[in-house]
Amino acid sequence: MMTAVHPMPRRGRFAAGMLMGLSFLAGAAHASEAGSIKAGREAAQSCAACHGAKGNSNNPAFPSLAGQPATYLASQLTAYRDGKRENAIMAGQAAGLSDQQIQDIAAYYAAQERKVASPADEGSALGADLYHHGRDNVAACAACHHSEGHGNQPAGFPALRGLSAGYVAQSLKDYRSGTRAHGQAELMIPLAAELSDAEIDALAAHIASLD
Ligand code: HEC
Ligand code: HEC
């Protein structure tokens, strides 16, 4: 007797694909939900005015996007579009993007090389110490964001090198206040909640000096 063949649930398909190893990786590049770098380059043309050519920004108000994990970029863009990460400028930029365009743009920026044009001259000894060693209730930033701020692509942890002190400090305060609470923010909120303003400024100064 024949039984109807049901499509495997997503999770099942993923697990089965993992077992197939390389053939799965090759197949993933063609899966419809995966981002297309070529389509992303087209869709990202309007972004360059603020985020710089190929996602390397020279303006401290606009974070560099080059080399960020695609999962991180897609998560942030979706959050701006859906009002979960509040920013008037980015809400407008993301408003018209489809899920597929978000995946394409994320794939494009993830594939670009991150370049730090002008690291800050002045670092911070306190910031460097906290970054590398943490303290009670504050995990070392380097454990997730890499000792030189390169982030962790497979885990989706963003790169920090090339971000301005002002942007980093604002981000840490947004995690501390719970304003940024979507995506993987649960990994940042408990430790940001422990940081004083002085520690946030010190960390931001150290991160802005990474080259
Ligand atoms: C007019 C300037 C402007 C334009 C154009 C713009 N952005 Fe932004 N973008 C910003 C600002 C400002 C921020 C920081 C907002 C915040 O603090 O949340 C930002 C943040 C982001 C972030 C979050 C970065 C991070 O490290 O978390 C992403 C992703 C992003 N923009 C993608 C895009 C894309 C894709 C486009 C084009 C479709 C675009 N932006 C166009 C100004 C701009
Ligand atoms: C357990 C891993 C982990 C640790 C430890 C950690 N982070 Fe993060 N960090 C993350 C993740 C994951 C995100 C992205 C969260 C999201 O989705 O908004 C993030 C985001 C950030 C951002 C925002 C980046 C951007 O482009 O907007 C900054 C700034 C940051 N972390 C700084 C720090 C600092 C400073 C420390 C140390 C005091 C630290 N992080 C420790 C995992 C970690």
pLDDT digits (tens, 9 = 90+) for 131-150: 999 999 999 999 999 999 99
pLDDT surpasses 70 at 32:
no
Domain final residue pick, 79, 110, 141: 110
Shared domain for 102 and 141, answered yes or no, is no
Token pair listed for 104 = 């394409």
Residue with CA nearest ligand 1 atom 3: 50
Number of H helices, E strands in the chain: 12, 0
For ligand 1, mutation pick of 50, 72, 109, 173 (most atoms within 8 Å of CB): 50
- Domain containing 64 — which CATH number? 1.10.760.10
Domain that holds residue 180: 125-208
Domain final residue pick, 66, 85, 110: 110
pLDDT surpasses 50 at 10:
no
Amino acid 33: pLDDT:
59
Flag whether 15 is in a domain. no
Shared domain for 72 and 133, answered yes or no, is no
Amino acid 118: pLDDT:
86
Please state the pTM of the whole predicted model.
0.89
Q: Is the distance from the beta carbon of residue 183 to the nearest atom of ligand 2 less than 6 Å?
A: yes
Flag whether 28 is in a domain. no
> How remote is the CA of residue 126 from the centroid of ligand 1, in Å?
30
Q: Is the distance from the beta carbon of residue 180 to the nearest atom of ligand 2 less than 6 Å?
A: yes
Flag whether 20 is in a domain. no
pLDDT in tens, 157-175: 999 999 999 999 999 999 9
Q: How confident is the model at residue 29 (pLDDT cuts 50, 70, 90)?
A: very low
- Nearest atom (ligand 2) to Cα of 203: 35
- Evaluate whether 25 touches 98 at the Cβ level (below 8 Å): no
Flag whether 3 is in a domain. no
DSSP H/E element including 198: helix 197-208
- How many distinct structural domains can be found in the chain? 2
CB burial readout 9-28, b (16+ within 10 A) else e: eeeeeeeebeeeeeeeeeee
For residue 15, how many C-alpha atoms fall within 13 Å in the half-sphere facing its CB? 5
Flag whether 200 is in a domain. yes
- Mean pLDDT, residues 110-133 taken together: 95
| Sequential DSSP letters for 73-142 | HHHHHHHHHTTSS--HHHHHHHTT--HHHHHHHHHHHHTSPP--S---S---HHHHHHHHH-BTTB--HH
- Evaluate whether 130 touches 141 at the Cβ level (below 8 Å): yes
Shared domain for 136 and 179, answered yes or no, is yes
- Mean pLDDT, residues 37-60 taken together: 97
pLDDT in tens, 72-95: 999 999 999 999 999 999 999 999
Token pair listed for 67 = 């080399």
Flag whether 10 is in a domain. no
